[in-house]
Structure 1
């Protein structure tokens, strides 16, 4: 198989997987972001990179957004929202972060393959995404991709879609958002 054949298959998988995402879940995520004082995000590994990208786009839209663990991250308060991205929902560090956020009284939303996981059970709301057959044995959804690649790619695309919905609701466009883009590059 050629590399471009693999690319086409990955795109087909993402198309199929995207049709399994609940619009209701994403609307809940948008509504929660709109009502939060601050939005903090957390994820580990590649999922964490996707959440960092999401935090950057939220900042471009004027949302007070932070990445948990960074030196410039604000404190978490009752009016805030924590969004966790985790395929398994069992990453120890993310469990601790969710427990702490819940003890403070803020809202927690998890985007995961397993809403019934430990983090899923701690969250106020879970957005379910399909994942690899190894991680999602109760599903007949299959992927040629290694490990959590499908989940991580779909996570980025889903969060970018949330950004587009937020832009629509707030009447923002890319030109407006460039005003918040880094300019000391």
Structure 2
């Protein structure tokens, strides 16, 4: 029975977290994606896995979306956008990617707990997501969950909300998107 109490507590934390996301920032990211030729997703660890899921949904809508580091990922250019999901905004490999994208005049968006971080400072726009930092010394914990779980869950829900907003703007539904679903499974 304790497991389901934990599940209910997680859902409650996630609800409170999503309520704190600025609508203007979400709309700005949605608009940036729609004006980009290609969209690149990056993140480390679990945030990277969530970025991969977001890239897949973007592809289902006909948006040229790529995961940084895959063998089929093309180069980024000035009409493209790199979206980095990083709780801390300080992951060295992601900082390097942001700098490279900026060096070719690509847009950079950071989805992070820390807009004042290195990645946030390099970004053209940030979306601040609530979540507990990995290091207790960096801030107070407001979650029962370990490490960055609340941020990662909020990131998934936020990315899915962006997908729904784009679907609405483009007049898409799941049926139309299913035509782009993988069929070699």
Please give the TM-score of this superposition, normalised by the length of structure 1.
0.96
- Helix, strand or coil at the partner of 1:168: helix
TM superposition shift of 1:131: 1.0
**How has the CA–CA distance of structure 1 residues 136 and 98 changed in structure 2, closer, same or farther, with 3 Å as cutoff?**
farther
1:57 and 2:53 aligned: no
Q: 2: distance between equivalents of 1:89 and 1:24?
A: 20
Per-residue displacement from partner, 1:9-42 (whole Å, max 9, x unpaired)?
0000001111100110000000000100000010
Could you say which residue in structure 2 is the equivalent of 1:172? 172
TM superposition shift of 1:138: 8.0
- Helix, strand or coil at the partner of 1:83: strand
TM superposition shift of 1:74: 1.2
TM superposition shift of 1:134: 5.3
1:36 and 2:36 aligned: yes
Query: Unaligned regions of 5+ residues in structure 2, if any?
Result: none
Could you say which residue in structure 2 is the equivalent of 1:24? 24
Q: 2: distance between equivalents of 1:141 and 1:161?
A: 25
Q: 2: distance between equivalents of 1:135 and 1:155?
A: 19
1:116 and 2:116 aligned: yes
Query: Unaligned regions of 5+ residues in structure 1, if any?
Result: none
Q: 2: distance between equivalents of 1:16 and 1:139?
A: 18
Q: 1: distance between equivalents of 2:180 and 2:74?
A: 19
Aligned length, in residue pairs: 185
